[in-house]
Amino acid sequence: MSDISWHRYPLITHSALAKKWLQIQSNLGLASNTVEAYGRALEDFYSFCRQIAIEPKLAKREHIAAYIRDLMTRPQSRSSRAGILDSSSGLSNATIQQRLTAVRLFYDFLMEEGLREQNPVGRGRYTPGKGFGGQRGHGLVPRLQKMPWIPNDAEWKRILEASRTESLRNRLMLALSYDAALRREELCNLQTGDIDPSNRLLHLRAENTKSRQGRVVPYSVLTDNLYRAYLEHRRNLSRSRGPLFLSESRRNFGQPISIWTWSKVIRGISTRSELDQFSTHTPRHLCLTDLARANWDIHEIATFAGHRSIQTTLLYIHLSGRELALKLEQGMAAIHSWRIKQLSEVLL
């Protein structure tokens, strides 16, 4: 069960219902990152309700619509590329979907508690003549399926050059994140006992994976060399087994690093390489795309990545372009043969 950092959610803390709901999510064993995302989302909604002077428990459809409008037009502090429908303002489509999911689940809870008859968020898209009914599964905001950014060879080289000055720990983490296609949480939560150096294998525990399914993945000789060097260095921080990656700052010396520490490292690399698109997920995206380019079977890629659905894996097949390239090659060969035949019939 995860511990909730209540100081991050002052409005939720002062609402018995909201606090109870978030605590239930934690008690149900949801991943700590999921609980934190729900907390941020509900705190944001409570803040909006306070701005428009409405009690969250009493919010109606028009208030939810106003909240969505606010999310779509809210200035984005980090980058204009996060705008809704690629505009220069507003939170990203994924963030808006996440916020609405948390709010919808909160109102589901209020209905279960007998405090509301209807969920103002609902699960339908507004259709003229049908209100918010629509078809189940369609949200109030269309869900955009955007392709992840994959660096080309020159951009990847810039990323690596910008990483050259990073600490041994950070260089190992970057190598592992690509080599084993690790998510941020999987990487930061690695334990010393999760690594089998004799066989160069990582054992990813189910509780740290998104799919809640454990898996075993290999890593390269290069990463193994970095790992062995870091292990020697780690002994200066702690001789205890446990979390693999430890902080070297004065404030948290020898303590396990957080996912936010790794995000900060990646932002630094992104800034130095002048590639704003580079994120903690980029090495994973690149690795899985490279596996698709290398003609790995889709089921092999899914197993390596820890995907629950083959549909997710198909994204990397599309990104690699291997099927389109093969069809184009075959198609052009057929067209070329046809053209040559025409030439021979006329010119010979």
Q: 92 and 178 share a domain?
A: no
Domain boundary among 47, 80, 112: 112
Structural domains in the chain (count): 2
Model pLDDT for residues 155-201, shown as the tens digit of each residue: 999 999 999 999 999 999 999 999 999 999 999 999 999 999 999 99
What is the side-by-side order of every strand in the sheet holding 201-204?
195-196, 201-204, 215-218
Mean pLDDT of all residues in 236-252: 90
Q: For residue 210, name the pLDDT band (cuts at 50, 70, 90).
A: confident
Do 246 and 161 belong together in one domain? yes
Residues 178 and 49 in one domain: no
Residue 135: predicted pLDDT: 44
211-220 b/e (C-beta count within 10 Å ≥ 16 → b) = eeeebebebe
Assess whether 71 and 199 both reside in one domain. no
Distance in angstroms (rounded) separating the CA atoms of residues 203 and 168: 22
Is residue 237 in some structural domain? yes
Residue 119 has pLDDT above 60, yes or no: yes
Which residues, in sequence order, are bridge partners of residue 131? 127
For residue 53, pLDDT beyond 70: yes
> Distance between CA 348 and CA 341 in Å, rounded?
10
**Could you give the 3-state DSSP secondary structure of residue 129?**
coil
Residue 79 lies in a domain: yes
Q: Is the dihedral of CA 288, 290, 296, 297 positive or negative?
A: positive
Q: Are residues 93 and 199 in the same domain?
A: no
Question: Cβ–Cβ contacts within 10 Å for residue 127, how many?
Answer: 12
Of 82, 112, 142, which residue sits at a domain end?
Answer: 112
pLDDT of residue 212: 81
- Whether residue 135 is contained in a domain is answered as no
Residue of higher predicted confidence among 285 and 82: 285
> Same domain for 161 and 265?
yes
Same domain, 172 and 48: no
| More confident of the two residues 76 and 85 | 76
Domain that holds residue 204: 155-322
Higher pLDDT, 135 or 5: 5
| 15, part of any domain | yes
pLDDT at 325 (0 to 100)? 56
- Provide the 8-state DSSP code for 56: G
Which range among 120-124, 142-146, 174-178, 222-226 shows the weakest confidence by mean pLDDT?
Answer: 142-146
User: What per-residue confidence (pLDDT) applies to 132?
Assistant: 42
> Closest by alpha carbon to 287, among 202, 169, 214, 225?
202
Give the whole-angstrom CA distance, residue 86 versus residue 80: 8
Tell me if 179 is assigned to some domain: yes
137 pLDDT higher than 90: no
* Mean pLDDT, residues 73-94: 59
**Same domain assignment for residues 200 and 73:** no
> Most distant CA pair in the chain: distance in Å?
89
What share of the chain has pLDDT > 70, as a percent? Answer: 80
Q: Does residue 246 register a pLDDT over 90?
A: yes
C-alpha 172/C-alpha 278 separation (Å) is 17
Distance CA 194, CA 302 (A): 21
Encoded tokens for 21: 């709901």
Mean of the per-residue pLDDT values for the chain? 84
Same domain (yes/no): 160, 214: yes
Considering the domain architecture, whether residues 103 and 170 belong to the same structural domain is answered as no
How far apart are the two ends of the chain, measured CA to CA in Å? 81
Reading the block at residue 33, the tokens are 């990152």
Whether residues 39 and 163 share a domain: the answer is no
Residue 142 belongs to a domain: no
pLDDT, residue 31, reads 78
Q: Give CA–CA dist 52/161, Å, rounded.
A: 49
What are the backbone dihedrals phi and psi of residue 147, each rounded to the nearest 5 degrees, phi first?
-75, 135
Looking at the domain assignment, is residue 317 inside a domain? yes
Predicted confidence (pLDDT) at residue 233 exceeds the cutoff of 80? yes
Burial 315-328 (b: 16+ CB within 10 A, else e): bbbebbebeeeeee
pLDDT at position 34, please? 86
Q: What's the CA gap between 108 and 136, in Å, rounded?
A: 15
> What is the percentage of the chain residues whose pLDDT exceeds 90?
55
User: Beta-carbon neighbour count of residue 95 at 10 Å?
Assistant: 19
Query: What is the domain-level CATH number for residue 164?
Result: 1.10.443.10
Same domain (yes/no): 29, 174: no
Q: How confident is the model at residue 91 (pLDDT cuts 50, 70, 90)?
A: confident
Mean pLDDT of 280-294: 91
Query: Would you state the torsion angle of the CA atoms of residues 42, 43, 45, 46, taken in this order, to the nearest 10 degrees?
Result: 120
Residue 144 included in any domain: no
